[in-house]
Homo-oligomer: A and B are copies of this chain.
Amino acid sequence: MEKKDGKRRDKALSRDQVISAAIAILNESGESGLTFRTLAQRLATGPGAIYNHVQNKQDLLAAAADVMIQSALSVNRDELAPGAAIRAVALDVFDIIDAHPWVGMELSRAPWQPAMLLIFDRIGANLQALGVPDMAQFHAASTVTNFILGAAAQQAAAIRLHADGAQRATLLSAAARAAIHQDKKSSPFLQRMAGNLTEHDDREQFSAGVDLILRGIRG
């Protein structure tokens, strides 16, 4: 016995087991903690064995992210009004990325990922009831999804930095200052927003963004 539920010398070892173990490592140690060697160790096997259940690391990460998004979106939102349902889906994704940043990084790494298509579907499913014309539904769903992906990547990267020690406010003001000084012609808007940049709440900002897009969708 080593530590966790590892030490499986007997048979078995399925794709689901590999993915579950990968998720456990990712949630504990983040993206940098997952290698084929650490994963093999947790599964009590050699690194090569993993390739019998997974094509490569990209495939593994995509499958892991899909599991996370599926579970985040498994709550039934049918009783909500369509606008509220879209907001709920978006915030569910935000919250799981806030808790597990690696999901956010992975979402924007590969296109047409199952996890991303699932988000796209859950958003789109509420557009008909919102009265959006058939032809406009595709653009509306993709706009919301792209916004979610962009915010997710930013949030994930910010959390990773934050976990690496430095204080959030310090980082932000340093970044803002650097950008302002670098731009010789000056960047008046950035300067005017410096305060908001260091003090705003990420989740509130995200929620406001969803609302703003919803207003555009409603026309």
Contact = CB atoms under 8 A, between A and B. Distances in A.
Contact of A139 (B124, B142, B209): B209
A205 B139 contact: yes
A157 B200 contact: no
A147 B189 CA distance: 19
Q: Pick from A150, A208, A213 the residue with the most CB of B within 10 Å.
A: A150
A49 interface: no
- Give the interface size class of chain A: 35 or more
Given A117-B179, A153-B150, A157-B110, A138 B209 contact: no
A176 interface: yes
Interface string A116-159: 11101100110110000000011111110111111111110110
What is the copy number of this chain in the assembly? Answer: 2
A4 B108 CA distance: 34
A111 to B, nearest CB: 4
25 contacts: A105-B109, A111-B154, A111-B161, A113-B175, A116-B154, A118-B179, A120-B189, A121-B179, A124-B190, A125-B187, A127-B189, A139-B208, A139-B209, A140-B212, A141-B189, A143-B213, A146-B150, A146-B154, A149-B149, A149-B153, A149-B154, A150-B150, A213-B216, A214-B216, A215-B215
Interface of A: 66, 105, 108-114, 116-118, 120-121, 124-125, 127-128, 137-143, 145-155, 157-158, 161, 171-172, 175-176, 178-179, 182-183, 187-190, 193, 196, 200, 205, 208-209, 212-217, 219
